[in-house]
């Protein structure tokens, strides 16, 4: 084993996320917040449209379009859940990754 490999193996490498570590971090945080807001707006629009298609198609006995509306409703609700849960999901996996030695 070379001296370089021994030094690298003996040196603990750590990463600690720091929101103020780079310039522009507040701007990036605002960008992510804005994208999450747009994602929630898109999910809301998809939910309203899909639920309307589902209801009107079921009322008119159009089962194919009713199924499409139902699927759109579920996808929109799932998208809203994922946008809302994204910070917790990221934090969970970060904490899980920090336990690896």
Provide CB contacts within 8 A for 30, sequence distance 6+. Answer: none
How high does pLDDT run on average in the chain? 89
Domain boundaries, the chain: 30-101
Q: What are the per-10-residue average pLDDT scores of the chain (101 residues)? A: 63 75 89 96 98 96 96 97 96 90 75
3-state secondary structure of 11: coil
User: Given this model, what pLDDT does residue 1 score?
Assistant: 57
Give pLDDT, residue 6. Answer: 61
Which pLDDT does position 22 carry in this prediction? 83
């Amino acid at each position: 084993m070379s001296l370089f490999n021994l030094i690298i193996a003996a040196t603990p490498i750590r990463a600690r996320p720091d929101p103020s570590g780079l310039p522009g971090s507040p701007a990036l945080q605002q960008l992510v917040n804005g994208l999450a807001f747009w994602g929630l707006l898109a999910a809301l629009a998809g939910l309203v449209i899909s639920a309307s298609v589902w209801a009107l198609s079921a009322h008119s006995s159009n089962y194919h379009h009713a199924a499409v509306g139902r699927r759109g409703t579920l996808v929109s609700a799932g998208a809203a859940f994922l946008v809302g849960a994204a910070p917790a999901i990221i934090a969970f996996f970060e904490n899980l990754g920090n336990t690896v030695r």
